[in-house]
């Protein structure tokens, strides 16, 4: 039986050490390194704490420099780059053991009405209520994941993920580089826009890079595979409420030179495009192991 999920509210509640210095606790999700989504979400919280309350993040761009240690907290140092009439820019450095493991540049804007359009359609997929949750899928197929990830299932349950064609990442069958995942937070979140954005940032790192493996018939649990995020970007288009279902539609337009590129669109249940994402990562098969 899955234990009650740890609280994302607590994970995103950073300790303020100084005016521009913060500390966040870590969750061990059973991966080889600290889950990148945690650093994305906490960095956004740290940056927002230094910005005027009338400004909300509209985009961030980030680089993962070193693997993080899930057993250690993360220190976030925020640099105030610019405060203009409508926009503010912040740079965030994530630190463990005195080393920079991650950089983010985030931009914030005062809300305003202006030109608006959406030229993106929400894919037609089975509904969230008829799709098996990832946690249930892992329970039914425990041999597909490692012991560490099995032990960390309560942490995975904090975000309810329901993958369409959940088996695809774990097979050697070549498929189109497309993936769709329903997602929402399992705990009750308030309407604070920054908290909801940060939880979305956290969730946006699940399943993302694995989409680029599908045309090659390489399973994500292949012991010869080395996979890691290099950079990650997100653009927030509309307010999000992460207690509601969102569809994460991912596609990989290219891979080569041991790297894969993936783009994502996140739709709310009304079919509105609330965020766009992009990520490039290491995809390397090691011979002779």
Catalytic residues, by residue number, are 205, 229, 279
- Sequence length of the chain is 289
Q: CA of 152: how far to CAs of 31, 137, 200, in Å?
A: 9, 15, 20
Q: What would the DSSP string read from start to end of 156-180?
A: HTTEEEEETTTTGGGS-----SEEE
Diameter of the chain measured on Cα atoms? 58
Sheet holding 159-163, edge to edge: 15-18, 21-24, 74-83, 87-96, 99-110, 55-64, 225-236, 273-285, 259-268, 246-256, 178-185, 159-163
Q: How far apart are alpha carbons 186 and 273 in whole angstroms?
A: 22
CB-count exposure of residue 262 (10 Å: 0-12, 13-18, 19+): buried
Dist CA 195 CA 170 (whole Å): 32
Q: What are phi and psi of 54, to 5 degrees?
A: -85, 5
Pairing of strands 74-83, 87-96: antiparallel
């Amino acid at each position: 039986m899955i234990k009650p999920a740890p609280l994302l509210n607590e994970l995103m509640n950073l300790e303020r050490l100084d005016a521009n210095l913060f500390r966040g606790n870590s969750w061990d999700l059973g991966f080889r390194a600290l889950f990148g989504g945690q650093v994305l979400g906490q960095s956004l919280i740290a940056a927002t704490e230094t910005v005027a309350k009338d400004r909300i993040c509209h985009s961030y761009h980030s680089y993962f420099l070193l693997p993080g240690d899930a057993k250690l907290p993360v220190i976030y140092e925020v640099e105030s780059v610019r405060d203009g009439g409508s926009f503010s820019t912040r740079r965030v450095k994530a630190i463990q053991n005195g080393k920079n493991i991650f950089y983010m540049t985030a931009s914030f804007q005062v809300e305003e009405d202006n030109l608006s359009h959406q030229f993106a359609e929400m894919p037609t997929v089975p509904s969230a209520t008829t799709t098996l949750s990832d946690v249930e899928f892992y329970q039914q197929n425990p041999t597909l994941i490692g012991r560490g990830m099995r032990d960390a299932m309560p942490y995975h349950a904090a975000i309810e993920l329901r993958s369409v064609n959940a088996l695809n990442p774990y097979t050697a069958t070549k498929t189109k580089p497309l993936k769709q995942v329903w997602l929402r937070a399992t705990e009750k979140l308030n309407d604070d826009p920054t908290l909801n954005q940060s939880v979305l940032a956290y969730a946006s790192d699940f399943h993302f890079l694995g989409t680029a493996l599908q045309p090659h018939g390489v399973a994500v649990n292949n012991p010869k595979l080395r996979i890691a995020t290099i950079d990650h970007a997100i653009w927030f288009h509309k307010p999000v409420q992460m207690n509601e279902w969102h569809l994460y539609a991912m596609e990989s337009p290219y891979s080569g030179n041991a790297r894969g590129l993936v783009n994502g669109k996140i739709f709310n249940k009304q079919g509105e495009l609330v965020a766009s994402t992009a990520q490039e990562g290491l995809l390397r098969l090691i011979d002779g192991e």
